[in-house]
A and B are shown apart, each in its own frame.
Chain A
Amino acid sequence: MTMTAETTASGLPAAFADLEPFAGWILETQPERYGRRLSTSMAEMQAFYDAAFPRLPEILAHCNVFPIDDLPDDVKKLMLLVFSLVEVSFPVEIWKQGRVPDSGAAAMDCVLEPPL
């Protein structure tokens, strides 16, 4: 897989070095991302959201340059970070907690998702 120009220590495109503190959210699968959401404090999720959400227009513009079936590794990592941003948007924007209110022990296990 090709690489574009420079990357950060965790492999994000250099243009998004400001998101490097949140590299722990670069996770391959939906269950990993949801699991991290459930085990992370609201303060940490809010910080991630506040840093990454305003960058979405630039992120989308950056990723859209590449063919979707042949994304460079650093772009894939950026995409995975956005998938995690999607995951934390629910606690941050509506729930004010990690878990869906009243969802108790309910679980929806992702058993199939398309590869990037």
Chain B
Amino acid sequence: MAKFPKPSEGSWTEHYPGLGTGPVSYEDSYSAEFYAREQEAVFLKTWLNIGRVEQAPRVGSYFTRELTWAKKSILVVKDKDGTIRAFHNVCRHRGNKLVWDDFPQEETSGSCRQFTCKYHAWRYDLDGSLDFVQQESEFFDLDKDNLGLVPVACEVWEGFIFINLAKEPEQTLTEFLGEMGTGLAGYPFGEMHQKYTFKSEINSNWKLFIDAFVEFYHAPVLHQKQSTPEEAAKLLGHGFEGLHYELLSPHSMVSSWGGMSPPKDPKMVKPMENALRSGLFGPWDSPDVVGDLPPLVNPAEHRAWGVDSFIVFPNFMILIWERQWYLTYHYWPLAENKHLFEVSLYFVPPKNAAERIQQEYAVAVTKEFALQDANTLEATQTMLETRVVDTFVLNDQEILCRHHHAVVKEEVRAHEAGTPVNFPWNRASAAANA
């Protein structure tokens, strides 16, 4: 029995004709051969989020990102004119890693006026140009103007720093984000800079963890013990239905209900939740920094809205909670059956001790949930690899799983064919809405 309305076609999935409703092959999640093609077609030419502007607040502030999957190290810095720039972290002299501390494989951050190589003291300005060469006269025909740091395409959207490893990206970041970018513009991400980050190496394909976080069909089952028995029974009885799904290929989003607070019945939440007034959906008492929501947040304008989950293709998710905080997920591929998972939680800085403790509780709950999800993924990955079953059935609440795998496959096809990507459901949807 549907609690929330679906599109006139009868389902979210059929609202996007061409997406299909049949079983889906998951070979894209265990084939080493597909993994290599996916790296070329997706990760080496798509805009990727690697941080926030708060990580480089002042002129000369910098941080490094180790993209081990691509065998790249990226140096991000705020230039003298305030521009955020990205470079390959490689000295042009003899290839030493330019910026690192103690251990070359570890990420670092700091502030400086110039970058000085540890090896022979070549110095680079914040705009990447080569400024100083030790014993310059010893070199032959040295053309310093052509020995600046190798730039990486870098653009910023709503404070999120993106890079693109292609020498000449096919689209600007704005073009790439499209309606996802405009639909979220204006949300006060910058006000929420009290940040926590967790990392985990997960023994599954990166897409499987995205699958787990873009359908909540699993939530009343896998996470039932996180609720009191009364609440768990209620959630299982209801099952899950999204308030709204939107495909903005290659991106997508799901809008979900939940987190009503304070609860009508204290038995529905754990003692610590009642004592602190906080939980999975965040502190019950919200700050007051969000005015009118951007059009893509709570698009159904439902009063029961709790959280929206956005996939920014390919490997970046933003969760915007009704209670005025947000969370990001990053999934960095390491092999066809391994990825590095990062979750960051961003709150408005607490005004007092109680608010700080409420935030700590929301962070702790998130970790408990993520631990359950993480281990299930390894169980899924290893069974996919048995190849006993090669296609899997996806229901209407799993439309974003279906869509995300379809987009990856289409990106690979288009890249190898040298033709533009073709998402037929986008056109059909646009025509239907016209």
Chain A residues in the interface with B (C-beta under 8 A):
30, 34, 53, 56-57, 60, 63-64, 66, 68, 71, 75, 79, 82-83, 86-87, 89-90, 93-95, 100-114, 116
Contact = CB atoms under 8 A, between A and B. Distances in A.
Nearest to A60: B354
A44 B67 CA distance: 42
Nearest to B361: A86
B72 interface: no
17 contacts: A30-B196, A56-B276, A66-B353, A68-B351, A71-B353, A86-B357, A89-B271, A89-B364, A100-B372, A102-B376, A108-B198, A108-B200, A108-B374, A109-B198, A109-B199, A110-B197, A112-B196
Given A68-B355, A106-B378, 5 more contacts: A63-B354, A64-B352, A75-B353, A106-B375, A114-B195
Contacts of A53: 271-272, 275
Contacts of B196: 30, 110, 112-114
B370 interface: yes
B375 A104 contact: yes
A95 B372 CA distance: 12
Contact of A106 (B200, B356, B360): B200
Contacts of A30: 196
Given A102-B376, A111-B198, A64 B354 contact: yes
B371 interface: yes
A112 B375 contact: no
B374 A103 contact: yes
A100 B371 contact: yes
Contacts of B198: 108-111
Contacts of B225: 94-95, 101
B350 interface: yes
A109 to B, nearest CB: 5
A77 to B, nearest CB: 12
Contacts of B370: 108
B355 to A, nearest CB: 8
- Shortest beta-carbon contacts, A-B, top 8: A63-B353, A112-B197, A106-B375, A89-B272, A106-B374, A103-B371, A108-B198, A100-B371
Contact of B371 (A63, A108, A110): A108
A106 B198 CA distance: 12
Nearest to A67: B352
Nearest to A105: B375
B124 to A, nearest CB: 27
Interface in B335-384: 343-344, 349-357, 360-361, 363-364, 367-368, 370-372, 374-376, 378
B144 interface: no
Interface in B110-156: none
B199 A111 contact: yes
B267 interface: no
Nearest to B225: A94
B270 interface: yes
A69 to B, nearest CB: 9
Contacts of B11: none
Nearest to A82: B357
A79 B357 CA distance: 8
Contacts of B376: 102
A75 B202 CA distance: 37
B365 to A, nearest CB: 8
A46 to B, nearest CB: 13
B226 interface: yes
A104 B374 CA distance: 10
B353 A109 contact: no
B228 to A, nearest CB: 8
A98 to B, nearest CB: 12
B194 interface: yes
Contacts of B356: 68, 79, 116
Nearest to B200: A108
Given A109-B199, A110-B198, A60 B353 contact: yes
B353 A68 contact: yes
Contacts of B202: 106
A94 B271 CA distance: 10
Most chain B beta-carbon neighbours within 10 Å: one of A90, A108, A109: A108
Nearest to B197: A112
Contacts of A95: 225
Contacts of B200: 106-109
